[in-house]
Amino acid sequence: MQPFQNEKAQLIMTLRGMGIVDADVLSAIEQVPREMFVARALQAHAYENASLPIAMDQTISQPYIVAIMSAALQLTGRERVLEIGTGSGYQAAILSFLCRRVYSIERLRPLLVDADNRLREIRVTNVTTRLGDGARGWPEAAPFDRIILTCAPPVIPDMLLNQLKIGGIMVAPVGRDRNQQLVTIRRSEAGFEEATLLPVKFVPFVED
Residues classed as catalytic: 61
Please check whether residue 86 is in contact with residue 37, taking contact to mean a CB–CB distance below 8 angstroms: no
Residues 6+ apart with CB under 8 A from 158: none
The amino acid sitting at 98 is: L
- With b for 16 or more beta-carbon neighbours within 10 A and e for fewer, the 107-134 pattern comes to bbeebbebbbebbeeeebeebebeeeeb
Cβ-contact 91, 83 below 8 angstroms: yes
Rounded-to-integer distance, Cα 107 and Cα 208, Å:
8
Q: How far apart are CA 83 and CA 101, in angstroms?
A: 11
Quick one: which H or E segment has residue 106?
Answer: strand 101-106
